[in-house]
Structure 1
Amino acid sequence: MENVTGRQTTGTPDLAVGTYLIVIGTIGSLLNCILLAMYCRMGSSLNPTSLLLINLLVSDLGILIFGFPFSASSSFYGRWLFEDWGCQLYAFLGFLFGSAHIGTLTFLALDRYLATCRGEFRGKLTYKRYLQLILTVWCYSFFWAAMPLLGWGSYGIEPSLQSCTIEWRKNDTAYKSFTIVYFVLGYVAPLLIVIVCYRYSAIHAAILHDRLAEE
């Protein structure tokens, strides 16, 4: 891929976007680091669910650290600064951490459902099982993030020339199949799981509340 120069001058919108990304990225990174430090200080008092929360913070931090410095600096120049290798790495890491974030949110919803509605599973929700779930999340995320690098779909510079992601503008078979399959398995399925789990958890909590009120 040739170096994309695009707009040669940097206008106010680019400066505004770059500044916004730096401010939000810095604040977000600091907050995530503080929360991670708090969890680390808790040590052995952490429950298994906390492992999922820590993983959520790690995925958030990854999105921020490997995202805003590159897109912000490119925004100031009005073009992507890091050649094709940087574009591929940026998009891969963004996809990896983004998918891990979605996967972790999905398992947190399942965790809430099992803890609220299926009491018989409480004793089986061990640290080992949660570590296995987290490993599954990262393997699943790595698979989808790696596919565009291997030819199923592709990564490319966005029209704004300030960041890289899935090459949405392509219209070939590989692009269509990757987009459809990932949309279903990476977005729709997790969203449905989250909605169903929290719905049943809310219903169960309401039933318990009514029973306690009657007593």
Structure 2
Amino acid sequence: MGETELCFPQLFNTSCWKPKRPLSETVFINSLLSFISLLTASLNLLVIISISHFKQLHTPTNLLLLSLAVSDFFVGLLMSFQIVLTNGCWFFGDPMCVLYSSLDYIITSASVGTMVLISVDRYVAICDPLHYSTKVTVRRVSVCISLCWSCSFLYNSLILRDNLIQPGQFNSCYGECVVVIDNFIGTVDTILTFVGPVTVIIVLYMRVFVVAVSQARAMRSQIAVIFQHQQTVRAKRSEMKAARTLGVVVVAFLTCLCPYYCSSLADQNSLFSVMSVALEIWLFYLNSCLNPVIYAFCYPWFIKSVRLIVTLKIFQPHSCLIDMFSILDNSDFLPLVGPHSSSFAP
């Protein structure tokens, strides 16, 4: 009792207890996590603005990246609530607890669904390149993204219905934030939101890797001098570069998610308390900060768009028509015509 204190001292009989930490430790942890939260939200907001504003980036692949950035942006905002939980108490009431937990579940499911769509997109682009432009269109990708988010919302509202109907019914004391999921539903949820999607992602990317290697060998042995063939080789290289980049994104995603879900599978207790600030939870959140960093290293258009956003050049007339794949100069503000409008997203 000497190393703990009440969350709400005025409610001695019903208040939860929290661990007592040194002030220096509390300030350090809160500052570090606040920085990660702010960085995550800011970087993903830059991705959202970039893809939304510049018309040349309105490609099927980039729309999937936009969906992923939206989910990562909301994760950055949700981190601020998790920071509050580092002190061991929930101060926002039971309705906000259920809302926070529901959004966390919805965003996680939408992120996993988007990763599956990204894997399918790269699979079609590499394994069936001749029909990619007809099979994967902006309209179809937009519909798939909308279905992904809608299904995530409906599905998680269903599995959390008991908590939504009566918020706080499973709390053991005042100042606690707990959601309860039935054991059977929890098992099904793990299969649907982790085991199944991860299996699909791994299988598709193994196939992409095999085909990409075979195409690279074929290109090295059959390079021709005619211009048309050079354009074809350049297109294939662009698609494979996109596959490699998004492969890094997928690997980082799986690396950050696996510890969280593995610990959930190992723990047979269906009582999940968001009060716990385990390392795997923050590793799970950290993935949302890694994606924009990966884009910065692998996508030249992202660096260029950040420069334009930071320097406020996006507010200039016709800035949405800037050629994102040329060297940053005054010619960027020419309208996109001809071949510029068909440049590859990567």
Q: Note closer, same or farther for the CA distance 1:166–1:16 as it changes in structure 2 (3 Å cut).
A: farther
- Unpaired runs of 5+ residues, structure 1, are 168-173
Q: Note closer, same or farther for the CA distance 1:130–1:5 as it changes in structure 2 (3 Å cut).
A: same
Query: Quick one: which amino acid aligns to residue 91 of structure 1?
Result: S
Q: Is the 8 A contact 1:4 1:80 kept in 2?
A: no
The residue number in structure 1 matching 2:94 is 84
The residue number in structure 1 matching 2:199 is 192
User: Residues 51-130 of structure 1: matches in 2 within 5 Å?
Assistant: 51-65=63-77, 67-75=78-86, 77-119=87-129, 120-130=131-141
Aligned counterparts of 2:196 and 2:158: Cα–Cα separation in 1: 19
Q: Which moved more, 1:102-111 or 1:119-128?
A: 119-128
Give aligned-pair identity as a percent.
Answer: 24
Aligned counterparts of 2:44 and 2:178: Cα–Cα separation in 1: 24
Query: Any idea what the Cα deviations from partners look like across 1:174-212, whole Å, max 9, x if unmatched?
Result: 611111111111101110111011111110010111112
Aligned counterparts of 2:136 and 2:109: Cα–Cα separation in 1: 23
Query: Quick one: which amino acid aligns to residue 177 of structure 1?
Result: F
User: Residues 1-215 of structure 1: matches in 2 within 5 Å?
Assistant: 5-7=16-18, 9-11=20-22, 14-65=26-77, 67-75=78-86, 77-119=87-129, 120-151=131-162, 166-167=179-180, 175-215=182-222
| TM-score scaled by length of structure 1 | 0.82
Query: Any idea what the Cα deviations from partners look like across 1:54-79, whole Å, max 9, x if unmatched?
Result: 010001011111x122222343x431
Residue 39 of structure 1 and its aligned partner are, at CA, apart by: 1.4
- Unpaired runs of 5+ residues, structure 2, are 1-10, 223-346
| TM-score scaled by length of structure 2 | 0.53
Higher helix share: 1
Q: Is the 8 A contact 1:14 1:78 kept in 2?
A: no
The residue number in structure 2 matching 1:171 is none
Bigger CA radius of gyration: 2
Aligned counterparts of 2:57 and 2:40: Cα–Cα separation in 1: 26
Residue 37 of structure 1 and its aligned partner are, at CA, apart by: 1.6
Query: Quick one: which amino acid aligns to residue 47 of structure 1?
Result: T
DSSP 3-state at the match of 1:7: strand
Q: Which moved more, 1:45-54 or 1:140-149?
A: 140-149
Query: Quick one: which amino acid aligns to residue 141 of structure 2?
Result: Y
